[in-house]
Structure 1
Amino acid sequence: MLGFPIAMAEQAIGLLGGSFDPAHEGHAHITREALKRFGLDRVWWLVSPGNPLKPDAPAPMADRIARARAVMAHPRVVISDIEARLGTRYTAETLRLLMALYPGVRFVWLMGADNLASFHEWQDWDWIMTNVPIGIFARPGSRLAARGARAAEEYERFRLPAEAAVLLPRCRPPAWCFVNVPMLDHSSSAIRAEGGWRRDLRGGPR
């Protein structure tokens, strides 16, 4: 049983959500960068029951959790199934409950630039932008799409310069920051296409 993560008031905690089907070194890479660039105390991986924007169901939660733990063994990273425990399906729902459960914690939503391009399709995306600081990482092939993203255009004046990224957790939302990092071209869909990742769990991530 994973239980609910522990957090103290005033801690800066990054939230990286997704199906992690499967988790890979690209996820681990942006997590390490997030801890450093945004001055975070912790990062929680929110392994979701499923993505409402994707038609296919992911692999079983237990398999994805095990893979995530193998890929991201870090003392400041928590692998969590809290969305399944809360019964939430959408990011905004999860964030509302986390903010109620952990008053005083400074949550930062983390995502890749590819998600920024389609962020306006998320349920209550405006609420997310105006209630939680957002840290965004460049990913392969996503820089140009992100620059023309609706969310980026509508909230351009609330963008924090990359050189001030460490201030993001203490910014009053709306606040978002786009940072370029050395990119790793890893893809969950490509790993699924190769097949067999669940059979490799005993030997660690491939």
Structure 2
Amino acid sequence: MPVLPRHDLPFAPRRASVGLFGGSFDPAHEGHVHVTRHALQRLELDRLWWLVSPGNPLKSFGPAPLQARLTQARKLMRHPRVDVTPVESLLGTRYTADTLRALMHLYPERRFVWIMGADNLASFHQWDNWRVIMESLPIAVVARPGQQLRALSSVAARRYARARIPARSAPLLSMAQAPAWCFLTVPLRDISSSHLRAQGNWLGTGHL
């Protein structure tokens, strides 16, 4: 486990509930902001961290430079309880399971919740050590356009069907013993990073 200066790490007080929203954010967009604000409210979180990854092992092409993505994300996501952080790069971890293991070691007495889109639940069984993730901390799955049926019929959803808690109990998720997950539907915005890249609105032509 690397020894990191505390000022390089995001802050969360002891016993705080902290949402972890991971991804390449290539680029970050209003859809990410939309999910973040609803997750803070629906899950009644104390803090939420964007974990901007160096790269996605499941994608064959590399993302834009990390510092550029961090700068753009921080300009877009402005909220007193949200931190945009390159923790994965600082830790030197490549896979989510390793990142989460390191964070739980560095931040004892915090209540972490992993937050992901319904499209990620659909392919979750392809992630490295996905069962370890599922059984390490509670997970909030946020619905995106056209993904609900595929997500809820996925390998992970069926394997952990008994661990699903109703959406009305979302504020209790951070206190639940893993495995525990909740499927949240929010007012949807069909925005994607790939669409923005295709429009030429990222790292080249200038502005989102």
TM norm structure 1:
0.95
* Identity within the alignment, %: 56
Which blocks of at least 5 consecutive residues in structure 2 are unaligned? none
What's 2:187 paired with?
A: 182
- Report the aligned-residue RMSD: 1.4
Q: Which runs of 4+ in 1 moved over 3 A?
A: none
Q: How many residues are treated as equivalent by the alignment?
A: 203
Partner of residue 138, structure 1: 143
Gaps of 5+ in 1: none
Corresponding residue number in structure 2 for 1:147: 152
Residue 101 of structure 1 pairs with residue 106 of structure 2: yes
Using the alignment, how far apart are the partners of 1:52 and 1:99 within structure 2?
22
2:203 to 190, 198, 203: 198
In the alignment, structure 1 residue 15 sits paired with structure 2 residue 20 = yes
Question: Among residues 87, 92, 100, which one is paired with 1:82 in the alignment?
Answer: 87
CA distance in 2 between counterparts of 1:14 and 1:30 reads: 11
Equivalent residues in 2 for 1:115-126 (5 A)? 115-126=120-131
Q: Which amino acid aligns with 1:53?
A: L
Q: Shift in Å at residue 140 of structure 1?
A: 1.1
Give the counterpart of 1:48 among 44, 49, 53.
53
Residues 49-64 of structure 1: pairs in structure 2 closer than 5 A: 49-64=54-69
**SS of aligned partner of 1:70:** helix
Aligned to 1:168: 173
CA displacement at 1:200 relative to structure 2 = 6.7
Structure 2 residue identity aligned to 1:52:
P
1:57-104 alpha-carbon deviations (Å, 9 max, x no partner)? 100011100110121111110000010000000000000000000001
Q: Could you tell me how far 1:31 is from its partner in structure 2?
A: 0.3
SS at match of 1:56: coil
Q: Partners of 1:197 and 1:152 in 2: how far apart?
A: 34
Q: Distance in 1 between matches of 2:205 and 2:10?
A: 27
Cα distance between partner residues in 2 of 1:182 and 1:36: 13
Q: TM-score, normalised by structure 2?
A: 0.94
